[in-house]
Structure formats: structure tokens, C-alpha cells
Chain A
Amino acid sequence: MAARRISTMLSRSLSLPSAATSLGRKYGMQRFSSAAVVEEPIAPSVQINHTKLFINGQFVDSASGKTFPTLDPRTGEVIAHVAEGDKEDINRAVSAARKAFDKGPWPKMSAYERSRIMLRFADLVEKNIKELAQLETWDNGKPYQQALKSELPMFVRLFHYYAGWADKIHGLTVPADGPHHVQVLHEPIGVAGQIVPWNFPLLMFAWKVGPALACGNTIVLKTAEETPLTALYVAKLFHEAGLPDGVLNIVSGYGPTAGAALASHMDVDKIAFTGSTETGKVVLELAARSNLKPVTLELGGKSPFIICQDADIDSAVEIAHFALFFNQGQCCCAGSRTFVHEKIYDEFIEKAKARALRRTVGDPFKKEIEQGPQIDSKQFQKVLGYINSGIDSNATLECGGAQFGSKGYFIQPTVFSNVQDDMLIARDEIFGPVQSILKFKDIDEVIRRANATRYGLAAGVFTSSIDTANTVSRGLRAGTVWVNCFDVFDAGIPFGGYKMSGIGREKGVYSLNNYLQVKAVVTALKNPAWL
């Protein structure tokens, strides 16, 4: 469940509560279950204690004194006013991180000590798991059960994983061609700038902060303006766990101001960004125009989900449904082009439609709810716009197609069949609960069509033939291939894109590369016993 879009540096359109649209209401069907949105929203039992910027171990107001509202996607109402970080705040945060790196104890303490602080942090998160899950759901709109039982435990698991890496960052000794002793040191890169999206606020925090801290770096992290709350909470816990001041600084704010200042900063040694491909280009350009800091990008996708003739259809329908609709369709790796073999196409459509119609939509705090609201009105309108585009281009609307309920940003689970490769809904990233089902005849054809995109993030393949699985998994130009499964996100599995889906890998041993510099040290050898 990777990341995205948020915190765009290009446009700063904050979602307004009033913008909840009437678009698409003509299709407003109410056959989805548990229409909780017409009821009063369930009140979360968590208090918001932290709304300021977190710089040098202190919660502080923004230099300008400005704040911005963060909204409840169920209603569009204000949850809290949060300090709005700007260029000046980024400068303050970078100075703190710089000082903590150059002079502070963090890179100078033993890896074991760093590891123990990260383990203590994971324990504290576990202790506060319910509050954090509630806050995540409140700010983001994702089902509480998903936040509580899947995402928060995975957050804890990721910090256990990276705590374990801290004392396993080995350099190499290297065979020389002559009388020299050669060693390679893997050093922390310095001050890391990180920009995370709104779709998985805490998980993206873990993917970014985990490897950076394990390698001994210090951090300035900008959260998404849609979801600033949980990062502030966990940053507080991290300091309770013993993180020295200035090692992790959190700046809430917008892309064009805070984000751009971070990406351009001459004292930031590395930048990692998760979001849209368009914003990723801006981040890379800002690095090019400033100090050439290395850039990791985790960007958009239009991932194919290929169901072969010999696949278990029921399992494929269920997992294809999950691959697209999980997290309200707000996943960069969503299986958003469902390619189905022509021999099973009609059966698949029927079952996919039936499954979508059974999807439970409603207040994410309610039990058994599978789908909450989209993040904000801008995304909500964009998704409805794509639905209209699908209808206009003559794809068959099997179900859904409109707003769900009348309040907040809920959208009906929507399925299109008879989708053609050149339709916008088959080419662009919709980032919402809209499944596009395409038909194919043979493997060579589907590999070619699956690869005919600027993206290359992930893919799903369903087959019982090992030959087909091997051919397709090598043939697809994508960073992850899930065979007979999808969205398996273990800490050990690297994630990232080919082509315009990004640069670099997060998670797994590969993620450490992003936060290390390589230094070769060569000494002249006198009378070597061996070479």
C-alpha cells in the first residue's frame, strides 16, 4: 500500500468543506450496504494534543504564526488548526537537523544504542496503538479496523525491522590490484529531507524515517497538508523513547512553500519524496538546481492485474477487487488495469460486479466497513470526473458511478467493463474506487499492453502455470510482481518503480542505500602477508 500524490508542490488547493460536489448524483444508487453517512458520524475517542511544528525536540508555532485546518473526510468539517510551516520553518528545522548531525550525539552513539531507541519507540507506539489508529482514521478516512489491525502493527513491525539493521550496516574490504589495503565505509549521508503523502501517513513515515535513522542520519520530514496529525504524535513518542533533540523534525505544511524549500535547501544532503509523478519531476528539478542532492522518488502507477485463463477465478475476483478498492482506491500500486483472459471475461465481470456491490461503504469508525470517504473534495471530484470520462468513452458502467450518500467524500464502488487501452480510465491514475476491466487473448499481447505505459510500479499475475508465471514476471517492466497475491508489503520486500513510477527502492536491504554514502579508504601496505 504505497504512497502518493499529496503535498503537491504544483497546486495548493486545500479542500474546502463546501466543495463536496453534486457531480454524478444522477447515478446515485443506494444499493451499497450500511449507508452510515446519513447517520451522525461516530465521534473518535482521541484528543488532539499536538498541532504545532516539531523542531529541535520542541513543539513550536510556525514563524509566521499561521495555521491551516485539517478536515474530517467524512464530513468536510475541521478537526484541528495546525501550525503551517513555511520556508522559514524549514530553515529552522534544517539548522536543527544539521546541528544534530554535525555535532549531536546521534551519529556518534553506537549503532546498538540507536537500535534500542528505535525498539523502545516501537514499544511506545504499540502501547498507544488505539489512539494512533483512531487519529489516523479521523484525519484520513480509512477504515479504523484497517488502521488498527493492519497499518499500525505494520508500522511497529517496520521499526523493529530497521532497528535490527542499525548494527548490520557493513562496509566491505576490497581485493586490491597492488600493495594497498582497501576498505569501504558506509556512512550516514547527513540531513535527509523527506516528503510523505496522505494515503498512508504513518506507514509512509515508517518507510522514510526507519532507514534514515537506522543509518544514523537526521531528518526534516514534511507531512501532507491533508494528514498532519499522526506524525506529530509519533514524533513525540520517539523523543520519549530517547531520540536526541533535532534528529527528527516534523514540519506540517504545503508543497509549494515548505516542500519546495526542503527540496531546494543547500544544507539538505538527500531528499526522498512519495507522491505524484508531476510533483516528483519538480522535486528532481529542485535538487538539480540547488546542490544535486540524491533523490529517491516513489511516484504514480497504473498497475496491471493479469488474470490468465487457468487462474482460480473466485480467488482472482476477490484479490483483484482488493487490489483496486483497498484504501478507497488511494494506492499508488492499485491494480487499476484488470486484464482478464477472453475465455473467462464474462464470468469475471459478473463476479467482480457482484463483489463491488457487496462492498460495505460508510463511516470508517463503524465495524465491518470496508470503504470510507476519499481524502478530500479535490480528489472526490477528480474521481467522479474520471467516471464521467469512462461513461463518455463508452466503457460499460457495471455498477456504481456516483457519490455515495450526501455528505463527505464517499464514492460508490464502481466497475467498468469493455475498457479499451486508449481510454483515459485505462491510462491515467484515478486514485479512487474505480475498477477498469480489459480483455486479452494471449500472453505476448498482454505483456506488451501491460508495458505500454509510462508507469512501472507493480503488477499482479494470476495463473496456475509456473511457465506463465515465470514468463510474465520477467516480461513485465515493474518494480513488484505479485503472483497469485497482491499488496503483500512485508518489511523485507523492496518497493519502487521502473520508468516514471520512480527512482530507488524503499523497504528491504535496498532501502539502506538511499541513506548511505560510500567512502573508499585506501592505505599503502608495507610487506603484506597476502593480497
Chain B
Amino acid sequence: MAAARRTSSLVSRSLPLLRGGKQINGGRGMYRYSTAAAHENPITPPVSVQYDKLLIDGKFVDAASGKTFPTLDPRTGEVIAHVAEGDAEDINRAVSAARKAFDEGPWPRMTAYERQKILLRFADLIEKHNDEIAALETWDNGKPYEQSAQIEVPMVARIFRYYAGWTDKIHGLTVPADGPHHVQTLHEPIGVAGQIIPWNFPLLMFAWKIGPALACGNTVVLKTAEQTPLSALLVSKLLYEAGLPDGVLNIVSGFGPTAGATLCSHMDVDKIAFTGSTDTGRIVLELSAKSNLKPVTLELGGKSPFIVCEDADVDQAVELAHSALFFNQGQCCCAGSRTYVHEKVYDEFVAKAKARAQKRTVGDPFKAGIEQGPQIDGEQFEKILKYIRFGQEAGATLETGGDRHGTKGYYIQPTVFSNVKDDMPIAKEEIFGPVQTILKFKDLNEVIQRANNSVYGLAAGVFTHNIDTANTLMRALRVGTVWINCFDIFDATIPFGGYKMSGTGREKGEYSLKNYLQVKAVVTPIKNPAWL
């Protein structure tokens, strides 16, 4: 359940075409992976699509233009549903509704405890509809159903309970003054929050964004990724059932360059939070600079090192390095995508990592026991195959995989490269797919320097039994999360975010509240103070 990304690009609007990627490398399909469900008939999802309109001011409405766009099943590239396509005019309507709900509505004026109860009721409703929500998530995104139903949707409920608990614990401070003044700080809701989320974890990213914004008393306009619009509409309906006042949460399905850009540029939006690619994050920040200087939170790309030291438990490191990279089809911003292995254990590690990748089960994500479903769409699918070719051309050793899996949809074989060098594109750029790149290192200072030699700084994994090594690496790595002898631990309380060009700000944990609060200092003179 790693973090997020790429989607909803403001830069390019290439909607995946039905046949996208079909012809690529079609001839070289190897079938040594188990459960090749992709050429069987896809399992029919046990859910129907009930909501395909925009959700504005508490009502499902058509787009102002009347336009729709298709959302596709990544298993087949076929249309799941036609969804209302929000545009600038719809964003304007949604922002007006959110503005009114903030300036005049009950939401920021009710007690924190009342807001809390609504969020708790919402978490209960999510639990009640767990399987239905999970099925919709898998259908739209392609991730294993077991992952959706057993991990991600329960974690959405957990995150909303976490933030429900924060509502009545947003304390301001009283502040010692230098003279006869009484000083207090109020932590106020920031106002109308604009939020743009990616396709890789549609509901978890919804929870990371909506949870703190609502806990702090704000109203929200959220744009979903054009690849995965469905689950947000379903759960938002549940949030209104739980008692959310109209206009507090507005969902606009649509594309980055139209709906997304309008939201970022809007003069009545007080804050914007974006999860996606570094290139798009840059545009979001520029649009804020050119409009009203709204504060921006960015959760962007990564090329996270996973460092396996000489003294590590190799079998455990192999397993976790595998999951750090391949989890969610490799579509995680914090994927452990540079696996640095000490030279003394390198050969053993590569052999075991290869064997583990070959055991990975790829196929219809609705099938039990499947570890890996299809990539999200034809664009991503082709991009990953291109990086695999780059790896081969650059002289890295292709240990396994390297091609599409099956003949239909966007499945890719679990791929492992060894003998990867730091300057190869596969070691520098974010691939966002099931491609593990294994590099060799000699000593700690060298690996620190190489690990930090990246524009990114999102996360890192460290495997060692030695407390000195762990402590040295933990401080020296310029990244927002360091997992030691573990990876992808995403508890609600643990802050997540990037150093350097991986982003600005932190989500989850106490830190996430700052993104949605303004600080107001209030100062009054005190007459005859008993103390100062």
C-alpha cells in the first residue's frame, strides 16, 4: 500500500486506447510464470458501477459540457463505464459549492466532536461495504483483489478513524510573552482545499488527502485520476450517507490539463495538495505561483534505494526487496527500485531474487493467490517495456522476465536486472513497473554517497543486523522514510513525504494536519497580570 503517483498528468492527456500496447513485443511471450490467467476469460467482478457522474454540492450531476470519458479494465483494455468528464466549468461549480460550504455552511461551525462522529460513521460504512469497494478498486485499477479487500480498504477505514480522533485534538498554543500581553495561537481550517490524486492507490490516496482536510474543518474539491475515477464516487456517496453536509466534499472526475489545472489556478482555492509525477508537481507549483500563492503539498516521484548489507539476513532481504519493488505491479512512488547489495552477498542475492521473481504469480487480479495484475494502461505498459529495452541496451544482465505476460491487457513479466550501473537510465529514472535493478557496493560510505546521488529523496530500505550501520545509514540518507529490516510499513501515524524533488510536506501522522491549518496569533494586553 505504498504511495502514489503519475496519473492525472497535467502534461499529457493521453488516454489509454483500447489496443494500446497490444502489438508490443507480442511474439516473445515467455510463460514460465504461474497462473497465466490473462489468456483465460477475465473473471466478472462481483460489483456493478452505480456512480459515474460528478459529485458537486452533495448531488451527482452531469458535466456542464455533457461530455464523458471511458474508464478501462486494465486486464483487457475494455470499457468499464463512461464517466462524466469534469472541465474548468465543473471545477468552478465545485469550488463555489465548497466555498459556500466553508464560508456559510455548518461544517466548520459544528463542534469537532460532531465532525468526528461523521468520520467514524463513514469508516463503519466503508467496513460494511468492504468487498464491494475492493472489487470496484481492483476492476478499475488492476491490483490483486486480495490486496484491495484485505489490506487497502481496511486501511482506508483505519485512516479515517485515525483522523476522526484528531478532530478534537487540534490544539493551538498559549505562548509566553516578553511583556504584559496574553498571546494565543489559533489553528484554523485553511478553507477550500483542492486535491489531486493518482491512480495507483485511488482510495488510499483519497484517505490520505481527505482525512486530514476534513478533520481540520476544511471543505474539499478533489480531482480523481482519469484512469481510476470509480471508487472515490462510491465512497463519497457513503460519506454523505454518514452525515456530511452538502458541498463539503466535491469530486470531479477528469483530466489534468483541464480540470486539474483549473483547480490549481483557482483564486478561490486556499490550498492545493497533489500526488503524482515530479514533472506535473512542478506545474502545480507554478500554477499556484501564477494565481493566488496557495500553499502546495507535493508527493512526487522516487528512486528509492534498498540497501542490503553484508551482515543482513539474505533470505529475508530477498523477500522484502522483492515486495518493495514488485508490490502493486511496481506502481509505487516509494518502490525500492535501486537494490544495492554488498559485493560479498551479491551473487547469492541475485540468484535468489531471480528465483523469487520467477515464482511470482501473475494473472487476473480477481483470482485468489495472484500476486501481480496488469499495469494500469497502455501508456505505462509501453513505457516500462521501453525501459526494459534500455536496460538491455545499456549492458545490464537480464536475469529473468523482460517482456509482456500473456497476449491481452497490460501484464508484464516480473523482470530482474543484475550488473546495473548507477548511470544507466534504469538506475536513475522512475520506471513504475515490475522491473528490479540490482547494483553492487563495497562499503558504507560509498553506498551512502551513491544512494543520495539522485534528484529524488522519498524513501529507503536498509538491511543489517548491526546497530551502528543502521544508525549511520538512517541519518545519512536524504530521504523522508527509512525502513530498517522492513519496507512499506504505512501505519496511519507514520509521516510520509519527500526530501529534494520527491516533494514538499508530509502526509499521515500529526504532520499532515499542518497542511490544512492556518496559524493565527492573537495578542491582547493584560492588565495587572498575576504571572507572565
A443 within 8 A of B: no
Closest to A277 in B: B293
A505 to chain B, nearest CB (A): 5
Interface of A is mostly: mixed
Structural contact, A292 and B289, CB atoms closer than 8 A = no
Residues facing B in A493-531 (CB within 8 A) are 493-496, 498-500, 502-505, 508-510, 513, 517-524
In the assembled complex, B428 has its CB within 8 A of some CB on chain A: no
Given contacts A285-B286, A492-B176, contact A483 B522 (CB under 8 A): yes
Give chain B interface residues in 479-502, CB to chain A under 8 Å: 479-486, 489, 491-497, 499-501
Task: Tell me, in angstroms, the Cα distance from A174 to B292 when the chains sit together.
Answer: 35
Q: A19 interface residue, CB < 8 Å from B?
A: no
The A266-314 residues at the B interface (CB cut-off 8 A) are 269, 277, 280-282, 284-285, 287-289, 291-292, 294, 297, 299
What's the nearest-Cβ distance from chain B to residue A129, in Å? 18
| A485 x B524 contact (CB < 8 A) | yes
Q: Does B529 contact A (CB under 8 A)?
A: no
Residues of B within 8 A of A277 (CB): 293
Neighbour of A499 across the interface among B292, B478, B496, CB < 8 A = B292
B489 contacts A522, C-beta separation under 8 Å:
yes
A177 in the interface, Cβ–Cβ < 8 Å? Answer: yes
Stretch at the interface among A74-82, A358-366, A389-397, A474-482: A474-482
| Smallest CB separation, A188 vs chain B (Å) | 11
Q: How far is the CB of B176 from chain A (nearest CB, A)?
A: 6
**In the complex, which of the residues A469, A477, A492, A519 contacts B524, with contact meaning CB atoms closer than 8 Å?**
A469
Q: Are A284 and B178 in contact (CB under 8 A)?
A: no
| A166-187 interface bits toward B, Cβ cutoff 8 Å, 1 = contact, 0 = none | 0000001011111010101101
The answer, yes or no, to whether B504 is at the interface (CB within 8 Å) is yes
Report B171 CB to chain A, min CB distance, Å.
12
List B residues 277-304 near A (Cβ within 8 Å). 278, 281-283, 285-286, 288-290, 292-293, 295, 298, 300
Is the pair B521, A481 in contact by a Cβ cutoff of 8 Å? yes
Contact B481 A503, beta carbon cutoff 8 Å? no
User: Are A488 and B185 in contact, with the CB atoms below 8 A?
Assistant: no
Please determine whether A495 and B481 come into contact, CB atoms closer than 8 angstroms: no
- Judging by beta carbons under 8 Å apart, are B521 and A284 in contact? no
Q: Is the CB of B173 within 8 A of A182?
A: no
Contact A176 B178 (CB under 8 A): no
Assess the A494–B511 pair: CB atoms within 8 A. Answer: no
Bound-state CA distance A488–B524 (Å) is 9
Q: Are A518 and B506 in contact, with the CB atoms below 8 A?
A: yes
A157 near B: Cβ within 8 Å?
yes
Residue in B483, B491, B497, B525 whose Cβ sees the most chain A Cβ within 10 Å:
B491
A residues near B485, Cβ cutoff 8 Å: 523-524
Q: Is the CB of A519 within 8 A of B183?
A: no
Residues from chain B with a CB closer than 8 A to the CB of A493 are 175, 177, 183, 521, 523
Closest A residue, CB atoms, query B483: A522
A517 in complex: contacting residue of B179, B283, B480, CB < 8 Å = B480
Knowing A185-B475, A518-B480, the reply to whether A484 touches B524 (Cβ < 8 A) is yes
- Chain B residues lying within 8 Å of A483, measured Cβ to Cβ, are 522-525
Interface size class of B (residues with CB under 8 A): 35 or more
B65 beta carbon closer than 8 Å to chain A = no
With A490-B178, A490-B179 given, is the CB distance from A292 to B491 under 8 Å? no
Contact B173 A509 (CB under 8 A): yes
Chain A positions within 8 Å of B282 at CB level: 288-289, 292
A284 to B484, CA, bound (A): 35
Q: Is B503 an interface residue (CB 8 A)?
A: yes
Give the distance in Å from the alpha carbon of A280 to the alpha carbon of B492 in the complex: 34
- A473: CB under 8 A from chain B? yes
Question: Which chain B residues lie closer than 8 Å to A111 at the CB level?
Answer: none
Contact A522/B520 with A184-B495, A292-B503, A490-B179 known, Cβ cut-off 8 Å: no
Q: Are B183 and A473 in contact (CB under 8 A)?
A: no
Instruction: Report which of A185, A490, A517, A520 forms a contact with B496, defined as CB distance below 8 A.
Output: A520
B residues near A508, Cβ cutoff 8 Å:
175, 185, 521
CB of A78 to closest CB in B, whole Å: 36
The verdict on A505 contacting B278 (CB below 8 Å), with A292-B501, A523-B470 known, is: no
B455 within 8 A of A: yes
Query: Does the CB pair A288–B286 fall under 8 Å?
Result: yes
A236 CB within 8 Å of chain B: no
Q: Min CB distance, A299 to chain B, in Å? A: 8
A469 to B285 alpha-carbon distance, docked (Å): 37
Q: How many residues of A contact B (CB 8 A)?
A: 68
**Interface residues as binary, A443-468 with B (CB distance below 8 Å gives 1, 0 otherwise):** 00000000000100000000000000
Q: With A and B bound together, what is the CA distance between A226 and B509 in angstroms?
A: 44
From residue A353, how far is it (CB to closest CB) to chain B in Å?
26
Q: How distant is the Cα of A499 from the Cα of B188 in the complex, in angstroms? A: 13
CA of A180 to CA of B483 in the docked complex: distance in angstroms? 10
Interchain CB contact under 8 A, A284 and B288: yes
Contact across chains for B286 and A522 when beta carbons are under 8 A apart: no
| B523→A480 contact, CB < 8 A | yes
Residues from chain B with Cβ under 8 Å of A473 in the complex: 186, 520, 522
Q: What residues of B have a CB within 8 angstroms of the CB of A510 in the complex?
A: 185, 519
**Interface residue? B474 (CB, 8 A):** yes
B493 cross-chain contacts in A, Cβ below 8 A: 174-177, 182
Asked if B367 lies at the interface with its beta carbon under 8 angstroms from chain A, I say no
CB distance from B460 to the nearest CB of A (A): 10
Contact of B39 with A by CB under 8 A:
no
A491 within 8 A of B: yes
A182, B183: Cα distance in complex, Å: 34
The verdict on A494 contacting B524 (CB below 8 Å), with A184-B495, A503-B293 known, is no
Determine the distance from Cα of A187 to Cα of B481 in the docked complex, in whole angstroms: 12
Q: Which of these, A289, A474, A484, A520, contacts B495 with CB under 8 Å?
A: A520
Task: Say yes or no: A481 contacts B491, CB within 8 Å.
Answer: no
Task: Please measure, in the bound complex, the distance between the C-alpha atom of A38 and the C-alpha atom of B474, giving whole angstroms.
Answer: 66
Contact B178–A492 (Cβ < 8 Å): yes
Expressed in whole angstroms, the Cα–Cα distance for A180 and B470 within the complex equals 15
Tell whether, in the assembled complex, residue B519 and residue A292 are in contact, meaning their CB atoms are under 8 Å apart.
no
Closest CB in chain A relative to B75 CB, distance in Å = 32
**Distance, CA A518 to CA B511, complexed state (A):** 9
Check A479–B482 contact: CB distance below 8 A.
no
In the complex, what's the smallest C-beta–C-beta distance from A103 to chain B, in angstroms? 12
Task: Tell me, rounded to whole Å, the shortest Cβ–Cβ distance linking A70 to chain B.
Answer: 30
Q: In whole Å, how far is A484's beta carbon from the nearest beta carbon of chain B?
A: 6
A-B contact pairs, 6 of them (CB 8 A): A157-B178, A187-B475, A282-B289, A292-B285, A490-B179, A522-B484
Starting from the known contacts A488-B181, A505-B519, A519-B480, 17 additional A-B residue pairs (CB-CB under 8 Å) come to A174-B494, A174-B509, A178-B489, A182-B491, A185-B475, A285-B290, A287-B285, A292-B278, A292-B503, A292-B504, A294-B504, A482-B524, A490-B175, A492-B176, A494-B519, A509-B173, A522-B481
9 closest residue pairs by CB, A with B:
A288-B285, A284-B289, A523-B484, A490-B178, A483-B524, A285-B289, A177-B491, A288-B286, A524-B486
